[in-house]
Homo-oligomer: A and B are copies of this chain.
């Protein structure tokens, strides 16, 4: 049995039992106390250290819990035999400092993915959040329905019916923290043995998520009306992912004829589905919003997916699926395996934002703001009308500029870059499976994040960049 010469510091903030525990543990780790060695009894150690016996016992018990000591009844405490122990050290790996962000040299970034946050109703959001938290509402901190709170799903289904022509009941609505997560859920509901047809070009982010989830993917070319149904049929796909109200990135509005052809394709074979991504359909600056494809579906074939990232803010991580009735049973089975990914507090704030009319007001306001930006930008770009052809206007938050003068996409981007304007190549939206397809020379011009004044200046710089292009 070994004497333990532990020097205790009675003035340290570390409790005495912890000091004893640390000392012994350290000695075991360093091989100063060897496997099988017996430790002093708690009585003798407490006497030698002049501490209470329960202090020593606490230290011993902790060491037993962690497996450093074992207690042999009627005999005493022994050091355990622990293979590989001596490789342990207590050093902390160095903490790397945060990496500096890349310096962006752009004067104006015409990102098609941004939104205008200058006009976000901060006051309302604060007020609603305060109200939701006002009482000590225990239930808000408890686990909620994996599909999301009923009240919010009801508010969303009403909004969708009224604003988007979506026909659904709250039972069909499932909330999740962003589209990525909802696509993961969809993979759980549908299984992964599917060939998913995406429009080409398409929303690359969704493409990558599908790929990541283990789906097989194929790209189906679009014409001026959207996905070509004969090519979809020939592709062998059983799921088609489409953006009928405002195709991303092309801005195509799918006419009713093509929509019905798509729905017909889906209804022709058991297990076919259309995923309708209605990502920014709230914003249309001419006439009424184009109703959702889902509203025309009579055969229970459309899976509708929408988000508040564009219409409220990207950091509000709430998106929703509207499932057809035919998938509800499967969804129930899959969902019982998952917990909701959206905090209930956030759900209740959004619920009030919609129910109290703030959402509608916000949308109307943003439509006006984006509409004005759209008009100003488009008007200024008219000076380039011989050089670029603008499409995808009157909706969303970006335009597509196609070069009609033989300038390549790369050159157009380089020239814009010289003026410190960032524009986005259309070719980036091609999927790997569509590599062979030819792509027109075009760039995306987003106008959401800039002010009217900035847009006017950005247009001037683009005119400078492209106006002198060879013809």
Question: Inside 8 A of A460's CB, which chain B residues have their CB?
Answer: none
In the complex, the answer to whether B212 meets A214 with C-beta atoms within 8 Å is no
Contact of A65 among B67, B118, B205, B290 (CB under 8 A): B290
Report chain B residues within 8 Å CB of A313: 141-142
Kindly supply a per-residue 1/0 record for chain A positions 87-110, scoring 1 wherever the CB is within 8 Å of any chain B CB and 0 otherwise. 111001111101000000000000
From A5-13, A78-86, A272-280, A396-404, the one touching the partner chain is: A78-86
User: Would you call B141 and A120 a contact (CB within 8 A)?
Assistant: yes
Task: Verify if A254 is at the interface (C-beta below 8 Å from B).
Answer: yes
Report yes or no: B58 in contact with A339, Cβ–Cβ below 8 A. Answer: no
Chain B's closest residue to A257 (CB) is: B82
- Cα–Cα, bound, A339→B113 (Å): 13
Distance (whole angstroms) from the CB of A182 to the closest CB of chain B: 10
Q: With A82-B257, A315-B141 as given contacts, are A62 and B136 in contact (CB-CB < 8 Å)?
A: no
Q: Is A440 an interface residue (CB 8 A)?
A: no
Complex CA distance for A61 and B288, rounded to whole angstroms: 10
Grouping DSSP codes into helix (H, G, I), strand (E, B) and loop, the A interface class, with mixed when no group exceeds half, is loop
User: Does A339 lie within 8 Å of B178, measured CB to CB?
Assistant: yes
Chain B residues near A53 (CB-CB < 8 A): none
A133 near B: Cβ within 8 Å? yes
Within 8 A of B (CB), among A196-217: 205, 208-209, 212, 214
11 example contacts (A-B, Cβ-Cβ < 8 A) are as follows: A65-B290, A67-B255, A67-B256, A81-B257, A96-B171, A141-B315, A177-B181, A179-B339, A180-B341, A181-B181, A314-B339
Interface residues, chain A, with chain B CB atoms under 8 Å away: 17-18, 21, 58-59, 61-62, 65-68, 80-85, 87-89, 92-96, 98, 117-118, 120, 122, 125-126, 129-130, 133-134, 136, 138, 140-144, 150, 157, 161, 167-171, 177-181, 184, 188, 192, 205, 208-209, 212, 214, 225, 253-261, 263-264, 286-288, 290-291, 296, 298, 309, 313-317, 334, 337-346
Query: 8 shortest A-B CB distances, which residue pairs?
Result: A67-B255, A177-B341, A141-B313, A62-B287, A67-B256, A143-B314, A122-B136, A177-B177
Sample of 10 more A-B contacts, CB < 8 Å, known A177-B341, A343-B346: A67-B253, A67-B255, A80-B256, A82-B260, A84-B264, A141-B315, A144-B315, A180-B338, A315-B345, A341-B341
